[in-house]
Amino acid sequence: MCLGRRRLLFRLAGLVRLGDSVQYGSYSVIQIGDGIYQLADRGDPKARLGGLIGVDMYLILGTSKALLIDLGNNYVDGFPGDLIPPRKNAAAELLAVLDGLRGKLPLEAAITHAHPDHDGMTRAFAGRKEILWMPKGEDLEAPRKQHGIDPSVYTVFDHATKTFDLGGGRVVKPLLVRGHSNGCTSYLLAKDLMLFTGDSIGIGAGRSLRSAASLKVFAEDTRRLVEYLQKELTPFERHSLKVFTGHSVENPIAGFYSADHPMLDIDWLDWRFVQDQALCAAAILKGGWTEPDSGLRMMEVTNKQTGRRVNVMLYGIGAIEIPVQAVYEAAGLALPQ
Ligand SMILES: [Zn+2]
């Protein structure tokens, strides 16, 4: 049930300690920092496909501006082919939460990538003043194809030059991590030691990639991400880094993907995961699974969403789901007959 607006404001004011949460509409609003919130939509267990089972947005308040990272699942459009039925009051509920949290601060929104579970609430901002940012490299026509929205509602930014200065030392730096999509972006909030990764490096169960070409750019960009974090943060800071993904509901993993192990309690990910994703990709390019001591393992597991048997490459706590053919192609090795 929706709360009245005054009651919502009263409850949002009760978000004080880390982990405090308020439920409103389909959103759990969780305090993850001082003026930093996760808007977790746990999704519909009956819905199909990965993005539909729960997606997160993040709101960061500075002293002069507020930034929303990602635009959530699509409950607004009812666009033909959309797998989520439109939900009454979806736009009003999201805007009420955002307006309640930001107060008088001007708001901007930046998506991690232009997939429907991350730009699905675009239409909620129709006729409003917010700047909506899309990373360079993403499919500019995606809003039209997915939701029938004119893509000109988005302003494209270049990772090389763009930063979001929210005031009070809160500067958010977008970092390109291709592989899942061509402009897929992680956002670093160095002051608070938080990295918002969307789908760029994956969830606790890893990142799925479809081709050798995707793996190659993923390897290149995750290596660059690791180098950037090593340069920008001290060792102590890196090990305090909290990594917030686009689908935190999927973060808990069963040890090495086995259904026989209890699930690990993973809420957010960390510096170790960032490194192991980069190391996993790098080890695949070197054909590491053919060497017993490389640390890279290849195994077949059942994908929990699709029920299909898939190939997974594991390195530490890093994992990449990718077809066997793509792995051999990426390493420049002949596929065994
Ligand atoms: Zn997603």
pLDDT in tens, 316-326: 999 999 999 99
**HSE-up of residue 231 (Cα within 13 Å, Cβ side):** 7
What's the rounded mean pLDDT across residues 242-260?
81
- pLDDT value, residue 67: 98
Percent of the chain with pLDDT over 90: 74
Q: Specify the residue for token string 């917030």.
A: 244
Percent of the chain with pLDDT over 70: 93
Reduce the DSSP state of residue 72 to 3 states and report it. coil
Q: End-to-end CA distance of the chain: give it in Å, rounded.
A: 58
- pLDDT value, residue 3: 55
Ligand 1 geometric centre to CA of 151 (Å): 19
Q: How confident is the model at residue 51 (pLDDT cuts 50, 70, 90)?
A: very low
Cβ neighbours around 104 below 10 Å, total: 6
Two structure tokens written together for 38: 């996760």
What's the rounded mean pLDDT across residues 48-56?
67
Q: Say how far apart CA 6 and CA 21 lie, in whole Å.
A: 17
Q: Specify the residue for token string 């699509």.
A: 74
Higher local confidence (pLDDT), 10 or 47: 10
Residues 140, 134 contacting (CB under 8 angstroms): yes
Two structure tokens written together for 33: 């920092």
Q: Say how far apart CA 169 and CA 109 lie, in whole Å.
A: 19
Q: Say how far apart CA 129 and CA 147 lie, in whole Å.
A: 20
Q: Say how far apart CA 166 and CA 35 lie, in whole Å.
A: 12
Ligand 1 geometric centre to CA of 199 (Å): 5
Ligand 1 geometric centre to CA of 153 (Å): 21
Closest CA to 189 of 113, 151, 244: 244
Distance of CA 50 to the CA centre of its chain: 12
Strands (DSSP E) contained in 177-264 are 185-189, 194-198, 207-208, 242-245
What are the φ/ψ torsions at residue 134 (nearest 5 degrees)?
-125, 135
Give, for 300, the enclosing helix (H) or strand (E). Answer: strand 296-302
- pLDDT value, residue 108: 98
pTM reported for the whole predicted model = 0.95
- pLDDT value, residue 132: 98
What's the rounded mean pLDDT across residues 85-102?
90
Higher local confidence (pLDDT), 41 or 175: 175
Ligand 1 geometric centre to CA of 300 (Å): 23
Q: State the CATH architecture for 1-200.
A: 4-Layer Sandwich (3.60)
User: Is the predicted pLDDT of residue 212 greater than 60, yes or no?
Assistant: yes
Q: Say how far apart CA 70 and CA 313 lie, in whole Å.
A: 28
Q: Biggest alpha carbon distance in the chain?
A: 67
Ligand 1 geometric centre to CA of 55 (Å): 7
What's the rounded mean pLDDT across residues 131-146?
96
Residues 41, 55 contacting (CB under 8 angstroms): yes
Ligand 1 geometric centre to CA of 22 (Å): 23
Ligand 1 geometric centre to CA of 168 (Å): 30
How does the average pLDDT of the chain come out, rounded?
A: 91
What's the rounded mean pLDDT across residues 64-72?
97
Q: How confident is the model at residue 50 (pLDDT cuts 50, 70, 90)?
A: very low
Q: Say how far apart CA 37 and CA 82 lie, in whole Å.
A: 28
Ligand 1 geometric centre to CA of 113 (Å): 8
Q: How confident is the model at residue 142 (pLDDT cuts 50, 70, 90)?
A: very high
- pLDDT value, residue 195: 98
What's the rounded mean pLDDT across residues 45-74?
83
Per-residue DSSP letter, 60: E
Higher local confidence (pLDDT), 228 or 205: 228
259-318: per-residue pLDDT in tens?
667 788 888 999 999 999 999 999 999 999 999 899 999 999 887 777 789 999 999 999
User: Is the predicted pLDDT of residue 2 greater than 60, yes or no?
Assistant: no
Ligand 1 geometric centre to CA of 100 (Å): 26
Q: Say how far apart CA 71 and CA 124 lie, in whole Å.
A: 9
Higher local confidence (pLDDT), 117 or 172: 172
Ligand 1 geometric centre to CA of 198 (Å): 7
Sheet architecture: strand order including 318-321: 207-208, 318-321, 309-315, 296-302
User: Is the predicted pLDDT of residue 216 greater than 50, yes or no?
Assistant: yes
**Domain residue ranges of the chain, discontinuous segments joined by +:** 1-200, 204-337
What's the rounded mean pLDDT across residues 92-109?
96
Ligand 1 geometric centre to CA of 256 (Å): 22
Which range has the top average pLDDT, 43-47, 79-83, 86-90, 280-284?
280-284
- pLDDT value, residue 48: 58
Ligand 1 geometric centre to CA of 114 (Å): 9
* CA dihedral angle for residue 308, residue 215, residue 137, residue 86, rounded to 10 degrees: 10
Ligand 1 geometric centre to CA of 49 (Å): 10
Ligand 1 geometric centre to CA of 73 (Å): 9
14-47: per-residue pLDDT in tens?
999 999 999 998 899 999 999 999 999 887 766 6
